[in-house]
Each structure stands twice: as C-alpha cells, then as structure tokens.
C-alpha cells in the first residue's frame, strides 16, 4: 500500500505517518511535508523522484503529472487500466492525504493583499483530491485531521479500508472542494478592482455583497415533519454559523424539536437578544405574543406572560439572561 501525503495544516500528520509506516505503508510526499517526515526519521520518497520532474514555479507545479494522477485514477478492476500503468511505469496510490492551502484563513486576515489571496488558491491539491475521490472504490482520500483515527482503526483491524469508509471520505472530499471553490468565488466576486494596474501590496476594497454568493449548509438533523405533518423537513446550518445563533446551541433536555419549534425558537431568540436589559420573549406560531423587559429574568417573564396568557400556552420562551430558580419555577407552571 502506498500513501501520498501533502498537507498545509500539519496537525497530527507526523503521528499519522508514523502509524502508516508501522503498518507497512510506503510514504510519498511533497515539499515541506516531505522534509518534516524525513526529519522525524520516516522513510519518505519525494514526489519529484517519482515524476522525475522538479517542483517549479514556487511550488505551483509539483503534483500535476500523470505519474501522480494515473496512480490515483486507475481502476484496479480494469485490465486495460492496469496495463497502461505497467506500460508507463506508473505505480498505484492507495491513500491520499491532502488539506488545501488556507485560502479562507488568509482572506479573513486584516490587510490581506490580493496577491496573498491569489497565492493561497490551491491548484494541485484540489486536482489530486478530485482524482482520488472519483476513484473512491480503490483510493481512500483524507482531507482533514479528524479523519485519521477512523482510517487507522480500519487499517489496523482489516489491513484495508471498507467501501463504506472510502465512500464517506470521498463525499467529504467533494464537499470540501465545493466549500473551497465557493470561498474563492465569494472573495473574488467582492473585490473592487479600482486601479488599472495593481501592485503586490494592493489591499482591495470589497463590496459588502459579492457579485456571487455561494452559500454552504451542513445538515444538523432530520426533522419528524415540516411546517405541516404531511411535509418532510431537515434542519441545516451555515458552514460557518454566526456566534450565538440558534444553530450553535445544544439541546439539554426534552424531545426532539420540530420544524415549528425551531422556527419559533429562532424568532424568539433573534428578538430577545436585541435587548440590553433583562428581557423575555414568548413566541407562538411565529409571532411574539409577549415581549417584556424587567429587573431580572423572572420579572421580564411575568410581564411577557401577562401580555397574552392564552396564546403563551405551548409557546417558545427565550431569555437574554441566565434563567434562575425563580424564573424556572414560574415557567414550569405552564406547558411550553
């Protein structure tokens, strides 16, 4: 088994490579990753030795080569594929470990120049990831450090990866490529090209609303039903949800929330968090039936409840302060 490792984020990569080596996996690598592994005493072959072509253009070209992509894309079950590899002296690659240049982190920094942003657009990494992910039946592709443990567990137990894990890794890889390309498009679509000729130090002004918005959503859970009982629904959150949004919360108690529970909770939270003083909001069927401020959580809740006690039955209650004993006891007297 052969693994090609080329990572920007080197978190856990030495330990992972050491474990692969202990399992008899041959290691290929590029640039800084290869140096790191070699410095740790691991036997590693540089990709340039395999391609017989040096890294060039400041690292822009290093893995864009048939010796790499042929090894990733060849179907092991097709004799003509394997014959082509043999004819051209290409060896198969069974594991690909790649995380991409940190484009999102780079453009998030204050004062990021357009040149820095452009240089952090990965080309070879996504190309390899797509090749490996397409050939998921034969190649395992890892795009994040939190995948290392599951891969090692299966290799230690079975000597190979299951179809289920390889497919899951492939899906995660294509998701990552989609997120990456979306972030690049969002950034470049927001850049105001104000000068005819730009210097390397140019920090571009950016439109608040980019020319193209590439929203990415991750499923939190399936829901029992949608707004009405005959409808299906699922709950998704933004890839990078705003701090303090409902999607970042943790349910501590009670049965699974419904579509209407979540929609009402979001409405209640968005309303109550706009107050600086202690406040309580009660929402029923997407509309506030009680909104009040008070000296504390109990006082605010008491006033909000008195606004419309009938509609408050079965409603969603939100506070912008920790709920103390007095407020909790008052809330527990009604169905919520």
Q: Which residues are catalytic?
A: 134, 285
Burial zone of 245 (CB within 10 Å; 0-12 exposed, 13-18 middle, 19+ buried): middle
Question: Following CA atoms 118, 119, 124, 128 in sequence, which dihedral angle do they give, to the nearest 10 degrees?
Answer: -70
The helix (H) or strand (E) run that includes residue 176 is helix 163-190
Distance, CA of 247 to CA of 265 (rounded, Å): 10
Distance, CA of 142 to CA of 125 (rounded, Å): 12
The DSSP output letter for 146 is G
The helix (H) or strand (E) run that includes residue 28 is strand 26-29
The residue whose two tokens read 């007095």 is 326
The residue whose two tokens read 């920790």 is 322
Q: Which residues contact 122 (CB under 8 A, 6 or more apart)?
A: 8, 100, 101, 103, 180
C-alpha closest to that of 45 among 68, 66, 22: 68
């Amino acid at each position: 088994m052969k693994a090609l490792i080329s990572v920007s984020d080197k978190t856990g990569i030495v330990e992972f490579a050491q474990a692969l080596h202990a399992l008899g996996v041959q290691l290929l690598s590029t640039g800084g990753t290869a140096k790191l592994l070699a410095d740790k005493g691991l036997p590693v072959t540089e990709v340039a030795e395999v391609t017989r072509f040096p890294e060039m253009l400041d690292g822009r070209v290093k893995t864009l080569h048939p010796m790499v992509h042929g090894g990733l894309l060849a179907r092991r079950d097709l004799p003509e594929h394997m014959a082509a590899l043999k004819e051209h002296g290409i060896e198969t690659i069974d594991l690909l470990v790649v995380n991409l240049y940190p484009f999102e982190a780079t453009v998030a920094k204050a004062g990021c120049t357009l040149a820095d942003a452009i240089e952090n657009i990965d080309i070879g990494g996504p190309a390899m990831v797509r090749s490996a992910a397409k050939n998921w039946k034969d190649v395992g592709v890892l795009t994040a450090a939190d995948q290392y443990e599951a891969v090692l567990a299966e290799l230690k137990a079975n000597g190979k990866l299951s179809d289920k894990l390889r497919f899951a890794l492939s899906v995660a890889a294509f998701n990552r490529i989609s997120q990456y390309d979306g972030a690049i498009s969002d950034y470049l679509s927001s850049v105001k090209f104000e000068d005819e000729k730009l210097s390397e130090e140019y920090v571009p002004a950016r439109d608040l609303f980019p020319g193209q918005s590439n929203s990415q959503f991750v499923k939190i859970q399936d829901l029992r039903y949608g707004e009405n009982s005959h409808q299906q629904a699922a709950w998704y959150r933004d890839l990078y949800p705003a701090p303090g949004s409902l999607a970042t919360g943790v349910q501590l108690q009670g049965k699974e929330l419904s579509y209407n529970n979540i929609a009402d909770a979001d409405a209640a939270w968005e309303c109550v968090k706009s107050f600086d003083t202690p406040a309580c909001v009660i929402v029923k069927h997407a509309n506030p039936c009680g909104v009040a401020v008070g000296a504390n959580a109990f006082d605010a809740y008491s006033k909000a409840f008195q606004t419309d006690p009938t509609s408050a039955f079965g409603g969603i209650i939100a506070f912008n302060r920790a709920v103390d004993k007095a407020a909790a006891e008052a809330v527990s007297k009604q169905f919520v």
